[in-house]
A and B are shown apart, each in its own frame.
Chain A
Amino acid sequence: MIVASSKPFQEIKQMLSGFKKVCVLGCGSCVTICHTGGEKQVIELAAQLRLSAKLEGREVEVIEDSTLRQCEWEFIEDIREVIQDCDAVLSIACGIGVQYMAERFPKIRVFPGLNTTFMGGPTEQGIFWERCAGCGNCILGTTGGLCPVSRCAKSLLNGPCGGSQNGKCEVSQETPCVWHQIYDQLDTQRLLATMETIVPPKDWTTGMENHPRKMILEHLVMKK
């Protein structure tokens, strides 16, 4: 899923300064699950906005709403009525949702309440790790199911760098060295020999280097 973190409140306040009627809009999918963009955060953020206005003697009306997914035209169309007389929408979806909102409601200012951060998942309640870089050419089949593109600080493809120590990454002691983990995993699977295969330089054009990417499923595209 997409993981996003909350923007500092000061930044949000700045973005919204001067607007009289603001809708805080949550998204019921990935960002709900990572506890930054769900109904709970809508309530909290709206309370913060109201309280901050009260403390500073400003008049602001804050309304609260959510959609199942902000990255679907049909779902966001449903809230047209709710936001029509708002000056601004604070979308706490990932960047995709924010853009969908901005595109569909060009007359209303739409601001991001989150920083979309990575694709990953919870390893335990409250802790999220990056797991995929969306490189467009998955190699997990040869690395024991661990992604060196997203989990190695240097995205190395042919084994660890010289900084790997005691299983930790030299860039951060908090981060396990994924190449150390790959080695252990291949060892368990009696596949260590694959470590010796030299992986040629990766074709990065399938990934981040080639924006914007697009996918077409011919068999599903309907005539306009």
Chain B
Amino acid sequence: MTVTNTCVTFDKKINEEAPCILACPIRQDARDYVQLIARGRFSEAFRLVRERNPLPAACGRICTHPCETKCRRNSTDAPIAIAWLKRVLGDNFSEETRKITTEKYPEKIAIIGAGPAGLAAANDLALFGYSCTIFESNSTPGGMLRMGVPPYRLPRKTIDNDVEFIKKLGVEIQYNTTFGADITFASLKEDGFSAVFIGIGLIESRTLNIEGVQLGGVLKGISFLNEVNTTGSARIGKNVLVIGGGAVAMDCARTALRLKSHKVSVACLESRKEMPTTDFEIEEAVHEGVVLYNSVGPKRIVGKDGKVAGLETLRVKHVFDEQKRFNPAFYEGSESVIEADTIILAIGQASNLSFLKGQDGIQITRGGTIVVNPATFSTSVHGIYAGGDIVLGRGTMTESMAQGKKAAIAIHNALRNTAIKDEKWAEKPAVPEVLPSRISFIKKEQKQEMPVMPLEERLNSFDEVELGFRLNEAVKEAQRCMNCGAGALVDDNLCVGCLTCVRVCPFEVPEIKRGDTTAYIDGDCQSCGLCIVECPAKAISFKTPLEDCGRDALEAVFQEKFIQGVKPLIINFYCQYGVYYEDTIDAIDDAFFSHVRRVGVLGLGKVDPSLYLKAFELGAHGVVVTACKDDICHFCKDREWVERRTKFASQLLGGLGMEPGRLRTHFVSSQNGKEVLELALRMVEDMKNLSSGQS
């Protein structure tokens, strides 16, 4: 048996997946784009996101981010701001996705509705090579994103940017075209469409069956939002009451505040804890001045002179019955009145299925949604698919996109008679929670705060409230990620059971279990890389190719044209924790740029001493290692290892007769760009003076 393992090449099966990825309905590569951002590799991160996600900028703002709920960082301090990080990418980067296909199929696909489900289906079908036309009844794309979500949460240009990208893939959008009126199933067939995907959403606002709903001043939630979102205003009074406890209710209330109502309240059946929207949205609404009336049910709308004067309510006993079904009960005689001159009903949406007229055979549910095969999203009629809210009833934006994506694969499979699968959706076990005994080893790191517009300014316009991370903030936030499921992996064929990894790991992760002959590293690995360097058998490597411990970056330096002419050439190995490269060396210094090349690694504990030798072998004249000081080390222990490894490498170099000053180590935080600059420049000068026979 020969072991050739200079670079460990074996089947790196990742059997446990990061929970953030598993929690996402579209299985967005959360961990991997976060890890790319942590390394300042924004464009690659954007490309990765875009390959799975047709609406990254919108998603980064309004996704309910189940990924964060499941993030393993919850057990140490706070989850990674996965969605906000995606927003940074969507806002600041745009690059063609690499997956653009050259395949072209003859079939045309019709997509009804330019909302999240339809856009996702069109995007993926276009990537497969089909020509898609989206038919949209409005004059702009986005569906509920545009009608329902106010611009202060989702600026219109971000929807447009995302959609522009989809159009670049060849997707056509026909606006002002209502399905069932302007086009029908029959006309689509006549026009040669081979498949239809219905993603029209729930366009009717539900109404209440109580006295007074017909009074002047009673508005429907989505219609109200749509009016404001398209015209910038709507006629409302000074004292607005929104009925409903979900996201749309919060949006209506906050929109009403921006239309200068004196008082805006929300009344809902649910208690504060039961409200069907995120805490964050409720808190923002309250913070802006919305008054909450929890656990009250509408009895009748009180009128005066044909106009709304208030809402008579009953106190709620319970919203859900013992079988957990929605079945509210009230206390008798608990009537009271909340005064209001405008009442907005935000109690949910319903479908309008009039387009089905004349198309028999599409099965629908009692709730008015379309029945589909849960695997293919095919309706009961061949060639007609559906997804999004018209199937989900009430779903999230990401759930809708997931259905659009799955339908796209099914349509492709049906048309091509194939059975391809998207492996990302395969069932996998999640990396379990961090072992309690290890939590104390993991450094707590402050979550980055989202910069927001000051309260005083917010209510004066519909400008976006959350301002987004700056790039350096994004990098810092991403660097908190523990790279779950992609950490160190032992190759059983190479491990000799020497116990080195067991002894060096600062987090006490590797173990050789009784009866085993090789080491095992579980999902708590923090990706510090210490064991990877120290393993004498080179049996350990990271599970994903993303982290190569500085090798590629070093080699990239020597790919540069004319690099061999640079004399002296200094390589600066630096720790990327806490820094965003472009941020650190801001002083434009000619000597630095002409003589120094930087190799950033997320934690210098990952760097093998042989890499310093390699730098010289490739042509460097000096190597300066700038490692963080103890107190800011993300892994807490890297300093001592960097110290002894550079000392060891110096000995090896000394053995070759090289001057001792050619490899230097300084414990100065990379965040201190000025000092790093000085140290590097000093080295440039010293190397100029060293007259060794080095070429």
Instruction: Give the CA-CA distance A47 to B656 in the complex, in Å.
Output: 11
Which of B4, B494, B608, B656 has the most C-beta atoms of chain A within 10 angstroms of its own C-beta? B656
A51 touches B500 (CB 8 A): no
Q: Is B614 an interface residue (CB 8 A)?
A: yes
Which of A8, A33, A50, A51 has the most C-beta atoms of chain B within 10 angstroms of its own C-beta? A51
Q: Is A52 an interface residue (CB 8 A)?
A: yes
User: Which residues, 70 to 119 on A, are CB-close (under 8 Å) to B?
Assistant: 75, 78-79, 82
User: Which single member of A32, A43, A57, A65 contacts B2 (CB below 8 Å)?
Assistant: A65
Instruction: Give the CA-CA distance A75 to B656 in the complex, in Å.
Output: 32
Which of A38, A64, A75 has the most C-beta atoms of chain B within 10 angstroms of its own C-beta? A38
Q: Is A10 an interface residue (CB 8 A)?
A: yes
Instruction: Give the CA-CA distance A64 to B6 in the complex, in Å.
Output: 8
B614 touches A68 (CB 8 A): no
Q: Is A66 an interface residue (CB 8 A)?
A: yes
B614 touches A47 (CB 8 A): yes
Chain B residues with CB below 8 A from A32, complex form: 496, 498, 536-537
Instruction: Give the CA-CA distance A48 to B186 in the complex, in Å.
Output: 76
- Chain B, residue nearest A8 (CB): B655
Q: Is B489 an interface residue (CB 8 A)?
A: no
Instruction: Give the CA-CA distance A138 to B503 in the complex, in Å.
Output: 32
Instruction: Give the CA-CA distance A110 to B538 in the complex, in Å.
Output: 24
Q: Is B657 an interface residue (CB 8 A)?
A: yes
Shortest CB-to-CB span from A89 to chain B, Å, is: 14
Shortest CB-to-CB span from B655 to chain A, Å, is: 4
B496 touches A33 (CB 8 A): yes
Instruction: Give the CA-CA distance A11 to B656 in the complex, in Å.
Output: 11
Q: Is B422 an interface residue (CB 8 A)?
A: no
Instruction: Give the CA-CA distance A38 to B535 in the complex, in Å.
Output: 9
- Chain B, residue nearest A36 (CB): B536
Q: Is B23 an interface residue (CB 8 A)?
A: no
Q: Is chain A's interface secondary structure helix, strand, loop, or mixed overall?
A: helix
Chain A residues with CB below 8 A from B608, complex form: 40, 43
Instruction: Give the CA-CA distance A171 to B511 in the complex, in Å.
Output: 39
A47 touches B617 (CB 8 A): yes
Shortest CB-to-CB span from A39 to chain B, Å, is: 4
Q: Is A210 an interface residue (CB 8 A)?
A: no
Instruction: Give the CA-CA distance A125 to B537 in the complex, in Å.
Output: 15
Instruction: Give the CA-CA distance A69 to B658 in the complex, in Å.
Output: 34
A50 touches B537 (CB 8 A): no
Chain A residues with CB below 8 A from B2, complex form: 65-67, 75, 78-79, 82
Q: Is A28 an interface residue (CB 8 A)?
A: yes
Chain B residues with CB below 8 A from A33, complex form: 496, 498, 536
Count CB-based A-B contacts (< 8 Å): 94
User: Which residues, 495 to 554 on B, are CB-close (under 8 Å) to A?
Assistant: 496, 498, 500, 503-504, 534-538
User: Which single member of A68, A75, A125 contacts B504 (CB below 8 Å)?
Assistant: A125
Interface size class of B (residues with CB under 8 A): 20 to 34
Instruction: Give the CA-CA distance A67 to B503 in the complex, in Å.
Output: 25
Produce 1/0 per residue, B95-122, CB < 8 A to A. Answer: 0000000000000000000000000000
A68 touches B656 (CB 8 A): no
User: Which residues, 586 to 635 on B, are CB-close (under 8 Å) to A?
Assistant: 608-610, 613-614, 616-617
Q: Is B367 an interface residue (CB 8 A)?
A: no
Instruction: Give the CA-CA distance A59 to B535 in the complex, in Å.
Output: 31
B610 touches A43 (CB 8 A): yes
User: Which residues, 34 to 63 on A, are CB-close (under 8 Å) to B?
Assistant: 35, 38-44, 47-48, 50-52, 54-55, 57
A55 touches B537 (CB 8 A): no
Instruction: Give the CA-CA distance A40 to B536 in the complex, in Å.
Output: 5
Q: Is A29 an interface residue (CB 8 A)?
A: yes
A51 touches B3 (CB 8 A): no
A75 touches B613 (CB 8 A): no
Q: Is B693 an interface residue (CB 8 A)?
A: yes
Chain A residues with CB below 8 A from B1, complex form: 67-68, 75, 78
Q: Is B5 an interface residue (CB 8 A)?
A: yes
- Chain A, residue nearest B6 (CB): A64
Q: A10-B655, A48-B656 are in contact. Are A68 and B538 (CB under 8 A)?
A: no
B693 touches A55 (CB 8 A): yes
Instruction: Give the CA-CA distance A40 to B533 in the complex, in Å.
Output: 8
Shortest CB-to-CB span from A12 to chain B, Å, is: 9
Q: Is B694 an interface residue (CB 8 A)?
A: yes
User: Which single member of B494, B609, B657 contacts A55 (CB below 8 Å)?
Assistant: B657
Shortest CB-to-CB span from A13 to chain B, Å, is: 8
B655 touches A44 (CB 8 A): no
- Chain B, residue nearest A124 (CB): B503
A39 touches B655 (CB 8 A): no
Chain A residues with CB below 8 A from B610, complex form: 40, 43-44, 47
Chain A residues with CB below 8 A from B653, complex form: 51
Q: Is B652 an interface residue (CB 8 A)?
A: yes
Q: A47-B610, A65-B2, A67-B1 are in contact. Are A35 and B536 (CB under 8 A)?
A: yes
Instruction: Give the CA-CA distance A68 to B537 in the complex, in Å.
Output: 10
Q: A32-B498, A48-B652 are in contact. Are A66 and B535 (CB under 8 A)?
A: no
Chain A residues with CB below 8 A from B694, complex form: 55
Instruction: Give the CA-CA distance A78 to B4 in the complex, in Å.
Output: 11
B655 touches A66 (CB 8 A): no
Shortest CB-to-CB span from B586 to chain A, Å, is: 34
B537 touches A28 (CB 8 A): yes
Instruction: Give the CA-CA distance A125 to B658 in the complex, in Å.
Output: 29
User: Which single member of A47, A55, A57, A64 contacts B658 (CB below 8 Å)?
Assistant: A55
Shortest CB-to-CB span from B200 to chain A, Å, is: 60
Q: Is A9 an interface residue (CB 8 A)?
A: yes
Q: A67-B2, A82-B2 are in contact. Are A51 and B616 (CB under 8 A)?
A: yes
- Chain B, residue nearest A69 (CB): B1
Q: A47-B613, A79-B2 are in contact. Are A55 and B535 (CB under 8 A)?
A: no
User: Which residues, 161 to 193 on A, are CB-close (under 8 Å) to B?
Assistant: none
Instruction: Give the CA-CA distance A39 to B608 in the complex, in Å.
Output: 13
A-B pairs, top 4 by smallest CB distance, nearest first, are A38-B536, A9-B655, A39-B538, A47-B613
Mark B residues whose CB is within 8 Å of A: 1-6, 494, 496, 498, 500, 503-504, 534-538, 608-610, 613-614, 616-617, 652-653, 655-658, 693-694
Q: List 28 A-B contacts (CB under 8 A).
A: A8-B655, A28-B496, A32-B496, A32-B498, A33-B498, A38-B536, A39-B3, A39-B536, A40-B536, A40-B537, A40-B610, A43-B610, A47-B652, A48-B613, A51-B613, A51-B617, A51-B653, A52-B657, A55-B657, A65-B4, A66-B2, A67-B1, A67-B2, A67-B3, A68-B3, A78-B1, A78-B2, A125-B503
Mark A residues whose CB is within 8 Å of B: 8-10, 28-29, 32-33, 35, 38-44, 47-48, 50-52, 54-55, 57, 64-68, 75, 78-79, 82, 125
